[in-house]
Amino acid sequence: MKNDLLNFTQNELSDEIEKCGFEKYRAAQIFISLHGKFAGGINSIKGIPLKLKELLVENFYADVPEIENVSVSEISGTEKFLFSFSEKKIITESVLIAGKKRTAICVSSQEGCSIGCVFCATGQMNYGRNLSAGQIVSQIYAVARYTGAKPANIVFMGMGEPLLNLDNVVKSLKILTDDNGLGIASGRITVSTVGLINKIKMFADLITSQENRKIRNTKLAFSLQTTDNGRREKLIPAAKYNRLDGIYKELIYFYRKTGTKITYEYIFLPGFNNAENDIKRLSKLSYMIPCNINVIRFHPVKIKKENIMSDIINNNPEFYKESYYNKELKDFIEKLKSLKVTVNLRESSGIDINAACGQLAAKRKE
């Protein structure tokens, strides 16, 4: 069975190439071509002997994704990429977020998602499978080849729950931070999670181990949405088995282990998570460990069945009224700031192409 060349760290690739009877430095050449120069396949690798290239073709492959569609926002310039892997059996999406000074790529770690968050289009898809480390990083390379620009930041906030694919996510971090590859600093990478007991602790232990020291500054974002356990369970079904008191303990562990402050992600749902008690609990939470709270607008998604999200919208006739929503949002943020909470309104981009937070659904064009 052939193995995906993109799925090897440089050390693993060196061992593979040596087993094949070639010098280890050839592995560095291959790694640089694939991960540093974004070669689009084995035949695009340069600087290696013909015999080695023939051996690679015979025994390996490079699971380079096919770009099936690119959508471009007329408002922000954000681009959404629909990818297919392995003869179109795996479908996923990534987003290139255009900033004023730098760009970021929002990458997927799974095909679909098994968590089932009711405010998220991906959560209402069927779960497909975990992406390999090679399939994760190759999304970034495909975007870089297409646009001609390297990303300044990478966020694991696309399709899927990264900590349910922990081994492959950690390996992808090692590949992305390798000096012979993309060479991005781990402090410019953020991994987002809905919060899974034991997984956050495992992640902290893995990225701070001696062998993984280059990825120790990877940031963690926690999808909070509400500080009330009962309400959170209605938004995020997995929260039933991952209660906030346990998650908070793991976030404290993560901070003490890594020294990196936590980001809390909070989708603003007026009438549901902006009461005075919500504000007081967020204020108290902000003093637990160094952190910042990113407030995110709710981005319209198709609600496939009756649930708490449809109730929130139906019970508030003004929910989609822009003047009402903006006023409530402004009041919420100002109240948090008055309590000395570090809070930011995370700007949304790509709403017009269904590329904003929670909108990825990996639909092929009809």
What stretch of H or E contains 276? Answer: helix 276-286
Domain 3-61, classified CATH 1.10.150.530, yes or no? yes
Over the chain, what is the mean pLDDT? 94
- Domain made up of 66-353: CATH architecture: Alpha-Beta Barrel (3.20)
Q: d(Cα 210, Cα 111) in Å, to the nearest integer? A: 31
Determine the 3-state secondary structure of 326 from DSSP.
helix
| Secondary structure E strands in 209-290 | 219-223, 262-268
What pLDDT does 88 receive?
76
Q: What is the pLDDT of residues 140-176, one digit of tens each?
A: 999 999 999 889 999 999 999 999 999 999 999 999 9
Q: Which tens digit of pLDDT belongs to each residue from 60-103?
A: 999 999 999 999 999 999 999 999 998 778 999 999 997 766 78
What pLDDT does residue 38 have?
95
pLDDT of 149: 85
Does the pLDDT at position 366 exceed 60? no
**Closest to 221 measured CA to CA, from 306, 293, 158, 317:** 293
Q: What is the pLDDT of residues 185-195, one digit of tens each?
A: 999 999 999 99
Length of the chain, in residues: 366
Please count the other Cβ atoms lying within 10 Å of the Cβ belonging to residue 153: 18
Which residue, 70, 331, 361, 120, is CA-closest to 225? 120
Could you read off the pLDDT of 266-325 as tens digits, one per residue? 999 999 999 999 999 999 999 999 999 999 999 888 776 778 998 999 999 999 999 999
Question: What is the pLDDT averaged over residues 105-119?
Answer: 94
Known active-site residue 357: yes
Q: Span 362-366, mean pLDDT?
A: 64
Tokens of 247: 């998650």
Cite the residue boundaries of each domain of the chain with CATH code 3.20.20.70. Answer: 66-353
Q: What pLDDT score does 177 carry? A: 98
Q: What is the pLDDT of residue 185?
A: 98
Whether 362 has a pLDDT exceeding 80, the answer reads: no
Residue 364: predicted pLDDT: 65
Contact in structure between 351 and 359 (CB atoms under 8 Å): yes
Q: Over the stretch 240-257, which tens digit does the pLDDT of each residue have?
A: 999 999 999 999 999 999
**Predicted pLDDT at 329:** 97
**180 vs 29: CA distance, rounded Å:** 9
Residues paired with 31 in a beta bridge: none
Q: 16, 93, 161, 265: which one is catalytic?
A: 93
Looking at residue 125, what is its pLDDT?
A: 84
- Identified catalytic residue from 106, 113, 120, 357: 357
93 labelled catalytic: yes
Mean pLDDT of 203-218: 97
Domain with CATH 1.10.150.530 in the chain: 3-61
pLDDT at 128: 85
Q: Which residue has the higher pLDDT, 364 or 123?
A: 123
pLDDT score recorded for residue 365: 59
C-alpha span between 284 and 320 (Å, rounded): 30
- CB 292: neighbour CB atoms within 10 A? 14
Helix (H) or strand (E) holding 336: helix 322-338
The pLDDT of residue 363 is 74
Q: How confident is the model over 341-353, as a mean pLDDT?
A: 91
